[in-house]
Amino acid sequence: MAKSKSNSAIPELIKSILLSLGLLGGILLHAQIDSTLIVTDSLSVVEPAVQDSLSSDSLITAMADSLSELVVPDSTMSDSAQTEILSFRTVHNSAFAVGEYLEFDIAYGVIKAGTATMAVLDTLTWEHRPVYLIRTTASSNSFFSSLYKVRDRVESLMDVDGLFSWKFEKHLREGRYKADRYEAFDQINQRVIYQQKDTISAPLYVQDILASFYFVRTQPLEIGKSIDIDNFADGKVYPLRVLVHRKEQIKVPAGKFDCIVVEPVLREEGLFKQTGKLTIWLTDDDRRMPVLMKSKILVGSIDVRLKSYELP
């Protein structure tokens, strides 16, 4: 009986290890919000026919025609209001550019669970504006895949000049779960269209979870201060605060780095159930490159450690 109980607990431990971190693509959200909310309320399982039609290439281009017609100026908005919104902000960015590629290992203590990547792949055009195509992937290794296979891909279109979200998609392949989520950020009319059918009002410059991470990298990080960001995920707008804690030197497989330690938290109590603590080490230079991300779980923590990188 004891052996059976132990064996049945293994997949749950693996699931906790892989999902609690959010596998990079959802790192700012999954580590802060109850995972049961994410899985039960947000995952829409894909039908087999849809699964077969999915490819490893981005679906962003394929969706452009169907979503672009939704992102048009609201006829009820005054001309002055439309003009003000259409003249978007400009944010200085010396942190990242096309060609940046980061590779991480995911570990639970001495146990390696898989690998993850973060890449700024290209600049495209969306709503007549240049946008970054940013992609993260996560894969469980062969041992973990035999018990709970993970193959996740997350993509964001982020405005080059204003560093805010235009488009987000997430493709989850986690164990038996196969789900796809889409979000179109209509910054002109201050709303988000998600799952290609539902619409919710949102603040100007609202971010998806991946764009939030890259936006923080471009901001001044002063010890003892914080950065507030409005985020949208899974049908809800929620307020994120990034606390700037301290400076610290750490060593990871990619080398030794002087870092600034930050922690994302929800600004308001009662909106979501927070079950974990996420700490991120960013290089203490203009790039603010993530080198270590540590997520607390029930027992121990999950570490995402930079093991190699390519810079533009």
Q: Please report which confidence band the pLDDT of residue 217 belongs to, taking 50, 70 and 90 as the band edges.
A: very high
Confidence (pLDDT) at 237: 92
- Confidence at residue 14, expressed as pLDDT on a 0 to 100 scale: 52
For residues 305 and 253, is the Cβ–Cβ distance under 8 A? yes
Question: Between 132 and 113, where is the model more confident?
Answer: 132
| Res 16 pLDDT > 80 | no
What angle, 0 to 180 degrees and rounded to 10, lies between the N-to-C axes of helices 2-21 and 35-42?
A: 80
CA dist., res. 94 & res. 154, Å (int): 23
* Residues 128-150, mean pLDDT to the nearest whole number: 91
The pLDDT of residue 250: 97
pLDDT at 36 over 80: no
pLDDT of residue 134: 97
* Residue 302 vs residue 7, higher pLDDT: 302
For residues 236 and 234, the model is more confident at: 236
pLDDT value for 274 = 45
Tens digits of residue pLDDT in 92-117: 999 999 999 999 999 888 888 899 99
**Burial class of residue 295, CB neighbours in 10 A (0-12, 13-18, 19+):** buried
User: What number of other Cβ atoms are within 10 A of residue 66's Cβ?
Assistant: 11
Which has the minimum average pLDDT: 73-82, 185-194, 261-270, 285-294? Answer: 73-82
Task: Give residue 165's domain range.
Answer: 2-310
**Number of domains comprising the chain:** 1
Q: What is the DSSP letter of 261?
A: E
Q: What is the model's pLDDT at position 253? A: 96
List all residues 6 or more positions away from 288 whose beta carbon is below 8 Å from its beta carbon: 95, 216, 217, 218, 221, 260, 282
pLDDT at 29: 36
Pairing assessment for the beta strands 278-283 and 177-186 based on DSSP bridges: unpaired
Task: Please give the Cα distance from 267 to 238 (Å, whole number).
Answer: 8
pLDDT higher than 80, residue 26? no
For 25, counting Cβ atoms within 10 Å of its Cβ (0-12 exposed, 13-18 middle, 19+ buried), the class is buried
pLDDT recorded at residue 153: 93
Residue 54 and residue 180: Cα distance in Å, rounded? 10
The DSSP bridge partners found for residue 231 are 207, 238
pLDDT at position 247 over 60: yes
Q: Is the pTM of this model over 0.75?
A: yes
Mean pLDDT, the chain, whole residue set: 77
Q: Is the pLDDT of residue 147 over 90?
A: no
Compute the average pLDDT of residues 38-59: 35
CA distance 194 to 304: 29
Q: 147 and 11 in contact (C-beta within 8 Å)? A: yes
Rg (CA), the chain: 19
Q: What pLDDT score does 249 carry?
A: 98
* pLDDT score at 276: 58
Indicate whether 119 pLDDT > 80. yes
Question: Which residues have CB under 8 Å from 200's CB, separation 6+?
Answer: 191, 192, 194, 232, 235, 236, 237
